[in-house]
């Protein structure tokens, strides 16, 4: 019997999706390169990250494309979108409060809690906050 390979999993931050969608983004070519190497990997993200994505592309000409992108992510079997819950929100808020020495946004704190819950160490992120929190930001 062949040994089953463990699925490689990454957390995806909003900046990953922003750079992937926006060809004018300075990180677009780096993100495309990283994405090519992800074949077969599972991507974990949160509804809060998708909210940031929609917020960034809220201009009327972009809305339809943004919604289509979010729907594709939600239907993609390789992408897990963690639904919002009060428990996750409260854990993120607790980290936000405990790490008052950092300028981490609440959404990042929720992302860090999610990464810990899934046992993730690497993020499709450019944000140095991920590294401050002890994770590896693959887009830096």
Q: Where are the domains of the chain?
A: 9-33+40-137
CA–CA distance, 43 with 93 (Å, rounded to integer): 23
User: Mean pLDDT of all residues in the chain?
Assistant: 94
What is the value of pTM for the model shown?
0.92
Q: How many CB atoms lie within 10 A of CB 52?
A: 18
pLDDT for res 133? 98
For tokens 């809690």, the residue is: 113
- What is the structure's pLDDT at 7? 77
Average of per-residue pLDDT across 86-96: 98
Distance CA(120)–CA(52), nearest Å, equals 21
**CA–CA dist 114, 10 (Å, integer):** 11
- Fold of the domain built from segment(s) 9-33+40-137: Rossmann fold (3.40.50)
How much is the pLDDT for 5?
Answer: 54
């Amino acid at each position: 019997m062949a040994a089953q390979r463990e699925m490689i999993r990454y957390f995806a931050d909003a900046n990953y999706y922003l750079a992937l969608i926006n060809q004018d983004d300075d990180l677009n070519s780096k993100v495309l390169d990283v994405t090519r190497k992800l074949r077969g990997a599972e991507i974990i993200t949160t509804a809060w990250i998708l909210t940031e994505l929609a917020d960034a592309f809220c201009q009327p000409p972009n809305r339809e494309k943004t919604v289509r992108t979010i729907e594709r992510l939600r239907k993609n079997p390789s992408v897990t979108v963690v639904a919002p819950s009060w428990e996750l929100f409260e854990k993120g808020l607790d980290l936000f409060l405990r790490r008052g020495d950092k300028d981490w946004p609440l959404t990042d704190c929720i992302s860090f809690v999610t990464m810990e819950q899934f046992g993730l160490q690497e993020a499709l992120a450019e944000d140095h906050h991920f590294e401050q929190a002890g994770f590896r930001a693959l887009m830096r």
